[in-house]
Structure 1
């Protein structure tokens, strides 16, 4: 092994100086760091939320909608966040002024929504920002930001060009942050144009004070490069680059430091080679000083201690002992002061080959695309289908760069998708020119993390009544849109409904119940967790100094939509009986009006009296032990799959099961329905329902079905009204955005350039593909010969997925 390491060092062409060689294995026992370990742990113990929005596209025509799926990952585990729920999506204009805000309900790390581009979008560009209240506690901004463009149907000097003098950004970055004299220094190079795009240089020159060329350099198409050369004492060097248009730009180095250390990093095969270099003068002052190297990534860290006894130290890190993704290497001096920092990227776990996209069936007006998951992980995806010539899909970040790269770097990342297509050499150049990481050591040492902002879960509603509720009175609350039905006793004023997921602009009915009559009562409502006071950092503004404005030859699509006046129809209502499947011939039926129920008796108590056991998670027939698997009781996906109506499949789909004690699927023994909607896995919904709120119950066993069923039907607000009921209907001005099903805009044409370049074919959120299985998606063709599909997402263990593929319809 030692011979192999010496061969690696020889490849580096290191000068024949005294070299102390360390092989560092990160699984060795870490040396105790004086206070740094605990400070680091404390700073990152509170998890960061990392949001990402996958938009169906980034350029829109008025009348279209922005469709998106939100992913929120938890940085400490690197997987989808299981508990976060409130994600705020704000829209800011070009001046950084907030236009509107939408609250998205996140469930198990995923949510989705849509925003209409209506006539109020009068500017060319806007910015979407996704963040949470909890994120405001941290110094680092991990918000998601995406620029969107709105096309105009007016000829505003189309093909306009803003003629300004060209300006180029030319920067040089000594690796580790310091230029040390009389030793070899590695320097990163960055050249960008006025629009923040990289500039390729085939040959640049490095000159000393006298103008002598002592070296050369180049940059790639992203404007990134690096060069190593021996830096002399008291010498300033000039980097000179000649652009393709003949412009010559210059950048001078600072005067090299006489005392200090520098870093030179190389990647050879499966190793990272870290050369820590100094000069003779520094060695006399720093000899035998204790240095420490900390490798960390916010989730874990390892310490490596060494004494400074030679001018060159070579430390070798094995890739397979480093976490995947970004790793930060920080070197501390004997006073525990960070003096050098470098970001390295350990080869990312690619998922491209495990997700296969193919065509399974083509019709005259549609095509069925098959997404095949060849891995052992469940996938959560979203997919945008656009014309092959699209110019409308230009995301600033993919989910890979947003989650795995952006949280660590401070600067702008041009074309982030490029770096994750096995272009890790260029990614290392990017990290070299980024300098120190986004996490500031002053903040870490001072534990500068606030806890003023709450971790939000839903919306709390406080209802205050203008008079005291007496002992024989209670408050009834109904909301069909929010699946809310409560009867609250008189001991709560104000009344607080915690952690609700109310929908914005939905209605809630309030009533005061006195004996069997219900009267109007109007509460004063207050809301928490419904709005985020957000700002927009203008440093994120993307300003193009030399552009061509795109225009649309479509008018605003919204102009083709006719908004009809509300029409209220009245007539004789036909009473419909509640009859679930098997209700007449196979289930027992009880009409509550025929019974005398104790005042205040709940439906749970009534069903227990009728022979069911209730354990807080669900019902079971009395006499059967039903200790449920916690995961099955909280997740429908682990139980019986339901059809679109929420009903149980036929027995043929479930298979023949005759013995409830021998059910290998651990399915619920009793399935509960409230007004024909299944609540088996959300049984808390019925816990506060009293029997006098229930109209009818069906219960029992249906032959051919595995589980027993309970169907509960409550009185509707109209039926309460017929019982001398008077309700106060209040519209909620705040709440979560209602999730809608995607619909395609009414484009005037599918053949002209506007549709081919900026139109949309289809959008599919909420894609879940089990391990080693496939899913079919049928999309319209709209007379196109080829389509592009853009897929983003993650697996259940945190593997990030970003894939683009052409679909050939011919």
Structure 2
């Protein structure tokens, strides 16, 4: 009996084990595939056509696709310039703060006239098969060579029938999408008639100017249908429709309603007879978010499901239908505009001041503050032709795998007509970019980490022992501090932000606390591998709305930004005492051997001043004024403000070159408060010279550091009135402007005497609402 129970227990355990394996369902697989967060990038360029002598200015926006908010996980943005074959020409590292970055590339003499690409990506993006790098085509014009209009002959056309959901089922009402493009990838207007085998008309259709449309018809089993298609140039094409499947289900989605979508599922009698109780699973999903519905026909050939838009997700959603064997059999994309809030920007001219025009901008619809960038160009510009705006880049691009002509068209001034055309586009796109074979297969592993700054690893080789810490001198982005060494005199610095050309400097302290140069090795870990844009991606990122130039660029159209001046030798009186350029009443003390012998530590010097009370306890330093109420000073260490004063504990005066003290801090503004300002500068050469060439620190530059953010400057055009400037010149670029919900923001642009200007505005609000506006205003 015990043996029977044992066998029964084993059998039941085996059944539950198999059942448990089968219970690893679609939802689990889908969620696992999207467990890791996914970043997306958008670059707002000041324009897309450039002359040599100009700068490519850009603002980068990062996006968390699942939560639809600004992504702040990564600070390192790699941006590169590539030639028309995809070969890398330039690459630089840019720092993102609060999800945005800005920068520029010089269009220097190394550029020849032609086509280039700008690409932006993060290291984290490399974890995923789906490429989310931002790539935009740009054009460069030179005085030596001018691009002429391309002439196309022998135009060819590609016509496709694309049934909604992926296939047509016999004896069911089917919705068939279609699109026709020429050999440049542009849509072409068409009309047509569908005939059955007896040449009887069963349907007719007409496409929109983008070459897309749809029509309804009910095919019979084992019948072949043919369409006669007429192009706008009179060309007649004949195409065969896909043959209807004998069994299966079809779907027709209706999305004109403000609060819901209606999905009409149909099947035929043959399918019901084969399995009348068959149950289907319908997943509505987006970037790891999902909603599951169950579908059964209950002996009927039609089932209608209404889905509230508030129950699904903002932007493009994917509907996938699975059979009872969990095989995907239908898929359809649709756009949910329920949560999409349209910005309403108001821009006006305030006045003209000298050579500048003051403009005002405010947002009238959104309820949150926003961060935007603005490109200001002449109204007649031909130089601004990005493939995507920020809406199409974040809402549409992540979900589609085919080429889309002018995707931003659907999101500028979005109205009922454009929503209808967007729905046809999504119908004709077929299946989503995310392949279910990948989703059911291996999952992304996250081996490529989020990069935040540079990781620096080092080891002190000399002195070979007795060193337990190093002094890290202040850099532009980091305060000075002491670094504790491991037992083998190694150390690691993470999240370090060094700019191009900037040194990182280290010293060690002797027993007397005097800095000396260590002998050590340093290794900088940062992703900067040279890469290439593949031909497949270049084909997918081509633009058809970029007009090639057909003008002759005047010589010296852009004046050179620099000129050679005669050498000027400035002689100074070495006895003249240094004066701080900001502090009006700053008392400057150069630390000499005499001062060091009086005050061994810098805190002794500050305390002896009489105005400040200094106390040290267990490495913590407090400095306050002696007057009432007591207040702490603002202290700068090598021009970097200290958040606390602990670094000054036992800090030898021999390591200080100069100290400036101002009790009132006049010139520092509100930063000084009531405690005044103290500025401390470390020595560049030792106070004690034991021998020639003795140094106080070791300095090193990173081989690949962060690009320095530059302030926008307008090119020096020879003429603002020429047709070339009006079509390809730039007026201004405002990369960083904050819109506050309760008030207007003002900004200035250079007055080029242009009558009308167009502002191209992109941005994102604090709660993830996207802003993309094109505004033309009259200046004079």
Q: Same fold (TM over 0.5)?
A: yes
Do structure 1's residue 750 and structure 2's residue 702 form an aligned pair? no
* 1:139-150 aligned within 5 A: 139-150=129-140
Deviation at 1:223, TM superposition (A): 1.3
Structure 1: unaligned runs, 5 residues or longer: 1-31, 623-657, 661-668
Q: Does 1:206 align with 2:208?
A: no
d(CA) in 1 for partners of 2:159 and 2:211?
9
The answer to whether the 8 A contact 1:600-1:690 is kept is: no
Matched, 1:370 2:374: no
**Residues in 1 aligned to 2:353 and 2:664: alpha-carbon distance in whole angstroms:** 44
| 1:715 partnered with 2:708 | no
Report if aligned partners of 1:56, 1:384 keep a CA contact under 8 Å in 2: yes
Q: In the alignment, what sits opposite 1:7?
A: none
Q: Counterpart of 1:798?
A: 768
Deviates more, 1:522-531 or 1:486-495: 486-495
Pair 1:613–1:116, CA change in 2 (3 A): farther
The alignment yields a C-alpha RMSD, in angstroms, of 3.8
Query: Equivalences for 1:276-355 in 2 at 5 Å?
Result: 276-309=265-298, 310-347=300-337, 349=339, 351-355=341-345
Residues 73 and 709 (structure 1), Cα distance of their counterparts in 2 relative to 1, 3 Å cut: farther
Mapped contact 1:152–1:551 kept (Cα < 8 A): no
Change in Cα spacing, 1:38 to 1:353, as seen in structure 2 (3 Å) is closer
How big is each residue's C-alpha offset from its partner over 1:80-112, in whole Å with a ceiling of 9 and x where there is no partner? 112310111122211111112111101110110
What is the aligned partner in structure 2 of residue 646 from structure 1? none
Render the CA deviation track for 1:18-59: whole Å, top value 9, x for unaligned.
xxxxxxxxxxxxxx9862222222222211011111000000
Task: Tell me the secondary structure at the aligned position of residue 427 of structure 2.
Answer: helix
Take 2:646 and 2:641, find their aligned partners in 1: how far apart are those partners?
A: 7
Are 1:175 and 2:164 counterparts?
Answer: yes
* Alpha-carbon offset, residue 332 of structure 1: 1.2
**1:302 partner SS:** strand
- d(CA) in 2 for partners of 1:344 and 1:61? 41
* Structure 1 match to 2:578: 576
| Per-residue CA distance 1:692-713 (angstroms, 9 max, x = gap) | 4455475978899795546443
Cα distance in structure 1, aligned partners of 2:552 and 2:492: 50
**SS where residue 328 of structure 1 aligns?**
strand
State the alpha-carbon separation in 1 of the partners of residues 93 and 775 from structure 2.
32
1:529 & 1:381 partners in 2: Cα distance? 29
Q: Is the 8 A contact 2:88 2:530 kept in 1?
A: no
**Count of residues paired in the alignment:** 725
Q: How far apart, in 2, do the equivalents of 1:284 and 1:187 lie?
A: 26
Contact 2:603–2:649 (8 Å) recurs in 1: no
Structure 1 equivalent of residue 381 of structure 2: 390
Q: Deviations over 1:443-498 (max 9, x none)?
A: 22224213221111111123345534432686444465455534446656444322
1:784 maps to which residue? 754
Name which of structure 1's ranges 284-293 and 386-395 shifts more when overlaid on structure 2: 284-293
1:116 equivalent in structure 2: 106
The answer (yes or no) to whether the contact 1:323–1:346 under 8 Å persists in 2 is yes
2:39 to 49, 57, 77: 49
Displacement of 1:732 in angstroms is 3.5
Identify which of 207, 211, 228 aligns with 1:240. 228
Which residue does 2:497 correspond to in 1? 501
Asked if 2 retains the 8 angstrom alpha-carbon contact of 1:296 and 1:328, the reply is yes
Q: Distance in 2 between matches of 1:331 and 1:610?
A: 73
CA distance in 2, matches of 1:457, 1:601: 39
The 1:722/1:322 distance shift into structure 2, 3 A limit, reads same
Separation of aligned partners in 2, 1:530 and 1:685? 34
Residues 164, 545 of structure 1: 8 Å contact kept: no
The question of whether the paired residues in 2 share the 8 Å contact of 1:601 and 1:691 is answered with: no
CA distance in 2, matches of 1:64, 1:212: 62
Alignment of 1:43-122 (within 5 A): 43-122=33-112
The structural deviation recorded for 1:745 is 0.7
C-alpha displacement at 1:129, in angstroms?
A: 1.1
The verdict on how the C-alpha distance between 1:690 and 1:176 changes in structure 2, with shifts beyond 3 A counting, is: farther
Q: In 2, Cα distance between the equivalents of 1:301 and 1:109?
A: 26
Specify the alignment match of 2:6 in structure 1: none
1: distance between equivalents of 2:465 and 2:135?
A: 52
Tell me if the contact between 1:172 and 1:187 (Cα under 8 Å) persists in the aligned partners: yes
What is the alpha-carbon distance in structure 2 between the residues aligned to residue 123 and residue 80 of structure 1? 36
Partner of 1:441: 436
1:525 pairs with 522, 525, 539, which one?
522
Conserved? CA contact 2:526–2:704, under 8 Å: no
Q: Distance in 2 between matches of 1:79 and 1:154?
A: 45
User: Which runs of structure 2 are paired with 1:650-729 in the superposition (5 Å)?
Assistant: 672-675=634-637, 677=639, 679=641, 690=651, 692=653, 693=655, 696=659, 707-709=673-675, 711-718=677-684, 720=686, 726=695, 727-729=697-699
| Preserved CA contact (<8 Å) 1:88 1:131 | yes
* Structure 2, unpaired ranges of 5+: 1-21
1:133-144 aligned within 5 A: 133-144=123-134
- Whether the 8 Å CA contact 2:177–2:215 is kept in 1: the answer is yes
Q: Which residue pairs with 1:416 in the alignment? A: 407
Give the Cα–Cα distance (whole angstroms) in 2 for the partners of residues 53 and 102 of structure 1: 14
2:744 is paired with a residue whose SS is: strand
C-alpha contact (below 8 Å) 1:464/1:494 kept by paired residues: yes
